[in-house]
A = this chain, B = another copy of it.
Amino acid sequence: MDRRRTEKNAEALAQGRPTLKTLAFMTGLGVTTVSRALKDAPEIGAETRRRVQLVAKQIGYRPNRAGVRLRTGRTNVISLVLNTEREIMSFVSDIIYGVSEVIADTPYHLIVTPYSRSQDPLDPIRYLVETGSADGVIISRTQPNDPRARYMLEHGIPFATHGRTDMGLVHPYHDFDNYAFAVEAVRRLAGIGRRRLALLSPPVGLSYHSHTVNGFADALSEVGASEVPFNTVSIDHTIEQIRMRTAQVMRREDRPDGFVSSAAAATLAIVAGIEDAGLKLGRDVDVVSKQSSDLLHLFRRELLVVNENFRLAGSELARSVLGWIGGAAPGTLQSLSVPSEVLAYRRSVD
């Protein structure tokens, strides 16, 4: 028996990457003991545990992911599900970096699961669940009644949504308070005398569309300003579409004297449209915009901005998913990011 073990494991030493068998051979223990020693199981002697862990560290043992996954079903993978056409660009990299930051010192890997315009957004989720390709999922473009969240709840896979749902179901999320953003934006515009405001909102159907629209409406009535309808475009439209629509609106008699914009790139288009109509930002009209990187003030220093931190969102989302996987209650893994004040870069001399 002892001979047999020695023979069998002699080859273990020869091969490249150390496995439990290698460790078992080196320590003279069984693979079971080694396995348990590495995960601090209670029924392993303190000295044995230390010895095994020391040797493991010395020879750079890393558990084989496929082995673990096959045996336990745990993948040690978090999947970030992204729309390949509509996601805001800086959004994506920041979210990824935020997630990366959090999972860096865990065994988790991040896989990006894309889906395209033409696909049912549920497709990638079904794929992940059916193939068991991830232990946790992060989705964006969340809807009030989100079939993906419902599906994942039904199938018991941990997830977190970027944006809240409104289905009476509880799950982890991280959201930026777009209601507060819209309210602050309107108040600010009213504060500098703007009275006829237009909103470039997120696309209809997404949760933060209604949050933004509601904040906008509530604040309008609070400050006694009026709305100039601008809902034939959203931040999902192309730059050109937004630009043309803005120019159109700005050429009318009853044009807005203030804009609230939910995305930085769209704001470029709004300003271009304003100038197409021969009007001047800061004189004829003011614009409050969300931005995720601090660049808009370089574009036009008259712009008023509110910062949204997507990197933070990524971190929070990752933390939430890992928390759920780790057994925390989904209801405790929700967070809301409060907007910064409305910031002005206009020089005081103006």
Contacts and interface: CB of A to CB of B under 8 A. Distances in A.
Interface of A: 17, 60, 62, 64-67, 69-70, 75, 77, 82, 84, 87, 89-94, 96-97, 100-101, 104, 109-114, 116, 130-133, 239, 243, 265, 268-269, 271-272, 293-295, 298-299
Quickly give the copy total for this chain: 2
A318 to B, nearest CB: 12
A318 B298 CA distance: 35
A120 to B, nearest CB: 15
Contact of A299 (B97, B116, B243, B268): B268
Contact of A64 (B67, B70, B239, B265): B70
Contacts of A92: 92-93, 96
Contacts of A91: 93
B70 A96 contact: no
10 contacts: A69-B69, A89-B90, A89-B94, A97-B114, A104-B114, A239-B294, A239-B298, A243-B298, A265-B293, A272-B298
Contacts of A66: 66, 69-70, 75
Contacts of A111: 77, 109-112
B100 A17 contact: no
B93 A89 contact: yes
Nearest to A74: B66
A271 to B, nearest CB: 7
A64 B71 CA distance: 12
A62 B17 CA distance: 29
Contacts of A77: 111
